[in-house]
Amino acid sequence: MGPRHLEFVAGGSRLWRLSRTSDELRIHPAPRYTGAMTFVIDDAFLPATLTAHSMTDEGFAGFCAEHPDLFFEMTAEGEIIVMPPAYSITGARNAEISGQLGTWAKQDDRGIACDSSTGFALPNGARRSPDAAWTLKSRIAQLDPASREKYWHLCPDFVVELQSSTDRPRILKDKMREWLANGAQLGWLIDPDHRSVAIYRPEGQVETRTGIDSIGGEGPVAGFVLDLSLVWNPLGA
């Protein structure tokens, strides 16, 4: 079968066309976001990808604020990725990871931990959000004071992505490689279904550990140990 198509109204009478492949949903021909568009995408078609004109940090933040029930990232090519809210169990797992990282960051005092609501403006032009991240305070201090209150224009030193049932593995692995290509010194891709952690390092190696109950940080986050027991099973039973 070829791509699945669906038309829907966006911005009054204007029609966009969506094509679905096995990996993603794309909106074409590429419409341009004007700052006043509204759109509706059925959950069955998420995540979706659309193309917009170049946006400032303020413009992108405003676009996201107009659609609070959805989650957005922007690729280096200017495509906007539209995602539904995380499932409840995924949110609980994210909170556990962010909580442990935040507690360690306060004790260590060299860097700042951020959760999945945080956006970063990467060197390649993308605006991405990891599920958890840690960045050296010394690097943040080098940013322009005004920009510290907006998206930080840097890549975190350490990132964590949590795979959920709605994530497409290929896309998530590409995102991990993007983090490393933009300056991350360590990345973890955590897969609760298989109780495994894929470790991404700048040298390009990917090491996967399976059947573990904890994992220790290295490089920028040496000394951090993530207890995975409540990530694998948030109910603790």
For residue 202, give both structure tokens. 């700048």
pLDDT in tens, 190-237: 999 999 999 999 988 899 999 999 999 999 999 999 999 999 999 986
Looking at residue 85, what is its pLDDT?
A: 76
Given pLDDT bands bounded at 50, 70 and 90, which one contains residue 7?
very low
DSSP class of residue 85 equals: P
Nearest-5° Cα angle at 152, 24 to 68: 50
Asked whether the beta carbons of 199 and 186 are under 8 A apart, the reply is yes
Looking at residue 68, what is its pLDDT?
A: 74
In terms of CATH, what superfamily is 88-232?
tt1808, chain A (3.90.1570.10)
136: part of which helix (H) or strand (E)? strand 132-136
Q: Three-state SS for 94?
A: helix
Given pLDDT bands bounded at 50, 70 and 90, which one contains residue 46?
low
Determine whether 52 is exposed, middle or buried from the number of CB atoms within 10 Å of its CB (0-12, 13-18, 19+).
Answer: buried
Looking at residue 22, what is its pLDDT?
A: 42
Span 141-165, mean pLDDT?
93
Is residue 29 over pLDDT 90? Answer: no
Given pLDDT bands bounded at 50, 70 and 90, which one contains residue 44?
low
Give the start-to-end residue ranges of the domains of the chain: 4-83, 88-232
* Lowest pLDDT segment from 67-76, 162-171, 183-192: 67-76
